[in-house]
Amino acid sequence: MNYLLDSYYTRSPKYSSEVESVTLDVNNLVTSLCRQIQKYDSRFEMSVFPSGSMAEGTKIGRPDEFDFILCLDKLNDITDIVMTDNLLKSGFASLKFKTTQVFDEYLPFTDAVGYLLPILFLRLFYDYWKRALNESHQWKEGNFYYNVENSMLKLFAKPVCTFDVYWLGSVYKQLRISIDLVPAVYKRGWWPINTDIDKITLVSPDIKAAGCFLTLQTKALKILLHDNDCISRTCNTEDPEEEQAKKRLLRISAAPAEICLMKSLPDDFREAYVLAKVLKKVCPAINVETKQYKLEEADFEYEKPRSTRPSELIKSYMLQNSVFYVLDELKMKNQLEDELEVSEITLKMFNFLLRFVDGGHMHMRPYFLSNDINVFETSSELSINKTFIFHLQREFSIKLMLGILNAKFPKECLAA
């Protein structure tokens, strides 16, 4: 296990120096692009909040992935968070403008009663970002270059804007770096009213003060964002109130608190989390046999074994929450004084995930948010059989990593 950590996480001074240079330059680049967008449109005044594994200090491998939350400061100043009773179990909230005086400026992004329509704001944001990336002065100095032929990926369902740059350094040559940007409203110290933050074991004053984001992700994903008449079709609607309300929703993210907690974890728990990520990365693809469940009687697609990639089924967010819960349980049981090896903590993390394997339901609460939110991805569009297969693949993936750790696990199928 030490070999895996040394190979994927520990860096020599020569590499560490260039990683610091890459990190600094990526931060400066994103900040410069945000300033450029603000010149286009003052409504998009933003500050940069580094997130993800690079911000946590848990990145494995090369410094080729960066994540940023772009805090919409001006929008933050003129809005209030609204969280009605019907939103308590949804993981979403809404933003309402404080006064009608701002409506003239923000009218294209509001509904008839003064709520922000995030998907309309996003549409213009992506247009500005693409324009800023093609400003030649951004690339005249430094070690980066941008290939204009590379398309900028827009994931409206997340919502994430992803683009690539290339680094030319003394250690890393032609390093392709992926940068993810998530626009959000950040009211520092804000928590959902159904989260009793003071009762969470690992919460410190700094974590409480970090609070949550509202990312511009909405439940209304049926709007065609490439349609030039998007605003007209969205605002001039006769949809029921319930459907109109979905267009106002912004997803709650506890990323600020999660990053703060991850940075404050004891070193052995941070290393255990990193080791789990390394195991996920090196875990080989497997075929999961399903014939014994006779699913082919319902559909011939189940006749063949299911190709399974544990690295894709087990997400870093699942591992992050599992290490929080493992530390929480040990602290509650007064077992932190027991000296555990890093690999033993990682073992506890995977065993914790295994608890939630179930054929019809696989649900784990995020450490900081409501129990109505699920760490494991779910989709109502999947059939019962496909949901079962998905859970079966995830179970085999967890057991495979337990096997790599030379640990025992239940032989019976827990998902069945």
pLDDT in tens, 290-305: 777 777 666 667 778 8
Q: What is the mean pLDDT of the chain?
A: 87
Residue with tokens 């800023």: 132
Q: Establish if 416 belongs to a structural domain.
A: no
Q: Establish if 414 belongs to a structural domain.
A: no
Highest mean pLDDT out of 20-34, 94-108, 113-127, 157-171 = 20-34
- Domain match, 159 and 280 both: no
- Mean pLDDT of the 125-134 span: 93
* Positive or negative: CA dihedral 384, 390, 395, 399: positive
Binned at pLDDT 50, 70 and 90, residue 392 comes out as: confident
Distances (CA, A) of 173 to 31, 133, 177: 24, 22, 11
- Domain match, 231 and 307 both: no
Q: Give yes or no for residue 7 having a pLDDT over 90.
A: no
- Domain match, 116 and 18 both: yes
**175-186 and 65-72 strand pairing:** parallel
Please give the residue range of the domain that contains residue 337.
265-404
Q: Establish if 186 belongs to a structural domain.
A: yes
Q: Establish if 284 belongs to a structural domain.
A: yes
Task: Specify the pLDDT at position 380.
Answer: 64
Q: Establish if 413 belongs to a structural domain.
A: no
Task: Specify the pLDDT at position 385.
Answer: 77
Dihedral angle over CA of 98, 99, 100, 105, nearest 10: -70
Residue with tokens 């491998």: 61
Q: Structurally, how many domains does the chain consist of?
A: 2
- Domain match, 304 and 321 both: yes
**pLDDT tens for each residue of 136-169:** 999 988 899 988 766 666 655 567 889 999 999 9
- Mean pLDDT of the 46-72 span: 95
- Domain match, 230 and 283 both: no
Binned at pLDDT 50, 70 and 90, residue 4 comes out as: confident
Task: Specify the pLDDT at position 223.
Answer: 47
Q: Establish if 42 belongs to a structural domain.
A: yes
Q: Give yes or no for residue 362 having a pLDDT over 90.
A: no
Q: Establish if 5 belongs to a structural domain.
A: no
**92-97 and 79-82 strand pairing:** antiparallel
Query: Which is nearest to 313 in space by CA: 380, 376, 388, 384?
Result: 376
**249-253 and 175-186 strand pairing:** unpaired
- Domain match, 317 and 345 both: yes
**pLDDT tens for each residue of 202-253:** 999 999 999 999 998 876 554 444 444 455 555 555 666 777 778 888 999 9
| Domain limit, last residue, from 235, 256, 277 | 256
| Domain limit, last residue, from 232, 256, 280 | 256
Binned at pLDDT 50, 70 and 90, residue 190 comes out as: very high
Q: What's the predicted TM-score (pTM) here?
A: 0.90
Residue with tokens 């270059």: 145
- Domain match, 277 and 143 both: no
- Domain match, 239 and 354 both: no
Q: Establish if 48 belongs to a structural domain.
A: yes
For position 119, which CATH number holds?
3.30.460.90
Classify burial at 125, counting beta carbons within 10 Å of its beta carbon; exposed 0-12, middle 13-18, buried 19 or more.
Answer: buried
- Domain match, 228 and 309 both: no
CA 286 – CA 292 distance, rounded (Å): 17
- Domain match, 97 and 241 both: yes
| Domain limit, last residue, from 230, 256, 282 | 256
- Mean pLDDT of the 98-103 span: 72
Percent of the chain with pLDDT over 70: 88
**401, 310 contact by CB (below 8 A):** yes
Query: Which is nearest to 91 in space by CA: 368, 381, 379?
Result: 368
**203, 50 contact by CB (below 8 A):** no
Task: Specify the pLDDT at position 228.
Answer: 45
Selected residue with higher pLDDT from 142 and 181 = 181
- Domain match, 202 and 317 both: no
- Domain match, 171 and 129 both: yes
Return the bridge partners of 95, or none: 81
Binned at pLDDT 50, 70 and 90, residue 326 comes out as: very high
Q: Which amino acid is it at 231?
A: I
- Mean pLDDT of the 22-49 span: 96
